[in-house]
Chains A and B, each alone.
Chain A
């Protein structure tokens, strides 16, 4: 068992997500940065979609009541065990009584903490991913106890030295309502820099506005990665926990890799859209 001494800013249990229920309004959820999360599992010999902890900006402090093997990937949150710095992208053995501290990020917005064997947690609609209205608790709290399934004892040291790299370019397809954009708006959209504003697992707001007074659309399906334009000219990029339908124009759609990239950017970071030809 692992005791949560401090939950950090926003730590959630995630696997690859909840599929097959979108037509009845159930969001996908799942790892925000799929690539980093699956590598965390791979290093430990877990199934790639095994559930783990997704940690946002400021990490938790955990006390181990048993021996475990873990890995930390994604953003660099300067993690320590008993105040000694540990390496990322490596299997790490911990003992009963050890304290893991995942600190503040110095690169990226999210890191992934996986345990050999995976976290024992109940599945709801085929997934363990935390989500309000679906899972009874949806973020880590002080005093929580995390149970880990059996240690695989199968570790794979990843050959190359891995490190999270992010880009300010988001690769996009044009969306179903792209044609509502004026020529000058399209020019701005692909030439101006945008700043990330308020964001969470559902959506990223951008600070700068483009074309205003576009009409809302009849409520239509949306996906993680859908870029919406509101009638007041605001741009919203939907992410993994987004609702299944929406009433704003869908002007662009991020590709899968750019979704991972975006999930590692923070409030104030700059982005540019690049159209996939």
Chain B
């Protein structure tokens, strides 16, 4: 682990490891520990693939003091407490909504059905959120789905769309321009501004995709208070 004083009120912690499930777990454990133990000093703790940025109230503590406190945390204590939630996200892979599935399957020379099977057969880590409020980076996908972003981004990707790019899959929480290949759509609401915790999913959680039919999607889409299951 490397510690870096980023500015007057933030500390960056970088982990020397490649992207993998244990790393996501290690970073979210440390984040949750810091959020819990140092709540009085904390403004935000931002988790990404291999780092954690701690933003603190500089009128409450100095960077060096907080850094020492963080270094003295016992990570083993943390790991035992944390059990990641696995969220079940319904996805409709019908071509009406999966606007890039046909082309993607052709370019990868695997059938549409196989793309869907590969996509829904894994449990993904929520690596981080960014780009848009509530936009989830999920990883990692099966190597057969690895790909570059689209050459031409779509100007309007629909809310709830499920994309794939690089070694990751994602969920668009709002209508937005976007460059990921869209292979499905979920009827859930992923970002609720009215709520104090606007996302039901958090970085460090896990996500599993459950295939639903087009007609089921259209019924569920009308149900505004639809809540996902988790285990």
Contacts and interface: CB of A to CB of B under 8 A. Distances in A.
Interface of A: 19-27, 124-125, 133-134, 173, 175-176, 218-221, 223, 225, 243-245, 253-256
Contacts of A256: 7-8
9 contacts: A19-B43, A20-B43, A21-B198, A23-B31, A25-B132, A133-B174, A219-B137, A221-B46, A244-B130
A190 to B, nearest CB: 18
Interface of B: 4-8, 10, 12, 14, 19, 31, 43-53, 55, 128-135, 137, 174, 176, 191, 193, 198-199, 202-203
A19 B44 CA distance: 7
A237 B129 CA distance: 21
Given A218-B19, A256-B7, 18 more contacts: A19-B43, A21-B44, A22-B44, A23-B202, A24-B129, A25-B130, A25-B134, A134-B133, A134-B193, A173-B5, A176-B6, A218-B49, A219-B48, A221-B51, A223-B53, A244-B129, A245-B46, A253-B6
Nearest to A28: B44
Contacts of B53: 221, 223
B202 A243 contact: no
A221 B14 contact: no
Contacts of B191: 24
B51 A23 contact: no
B174 A223 contact: no
B23 to A, nearest CB: 11
A255 B7 contact: yes
B210 to A, nearest CB: 23
A158 B128 CA distance: 46
Contacts of A24: 129, 133-134, 191, 198-199, 202-203
Given A125-B198, A223-B7, A255-B7, A25 B129 contact: yes
A253 B7 contact: yes
Contacts of B130: 25, 219, 243-245
Given A22-B44, A134-B193, A176-B4, A223 B132 contact: no
A69 B191 CA distance: 38
A24 B50 CA distance: 16
Nearest to A253: B7
Contact of A133 (B7, B45, B48, B132): B132
Nearest to A225: B7
Contact of B128 (A27, A124, A134, A219): A219
Contacts of A221: 12, 46, 48, 51-53
B47 A23 contact: yes
B193 A125 contact: yes
B132 A23 contact: no
A244 B46 contact: yes
A112 to B, nearest CB: 23
Sorted nearest first, the 8 A-B pairs with minimum C-beta distance are: A221-B53, A245-B130, A22-B44, A25-B129, A221-B46, A26-B133, A244-B130, A25-B130
B129 A220 contact: no
A23 B46 CA distance: 4
B55 A223 contact: yes
A22 B193 CA distance: 14
Contacts of A21: 44, 133, 198
A164 to B, nearest CB: 22
B143 to A, nearest CB: 18
Contacts of A124: 193
Contacts of A218: 19, 48-50
Given A19-B43, A24-B198, A220-B51, A245 B7 contact: no
Nearest to B175: A133
Contacts of A253: 6-7
A27 to B, nearest CB: 8
A21 B50 CA distance: 19
A176 B55 CA distance: 15
Contacts of B47: 23
Nearest to B51: A220
A100 to B, nearest CB: 32
Contacts of B10: 223
Contact of B12 (A134, A176, A243, A255): A176
A25 B131 contact: yes
A74 to B, nearest CB: 22
Contact of A255 (B8, B55, B129): B8
B44 A245 contact: no
Contacts of B14: 176
Given A23-B202, A133-B133, A245 B43 contact: no
Nearest to B31: A23
Contacts of A223: 6-7, 10, 53, 55
A134 B10 CA distance: 25
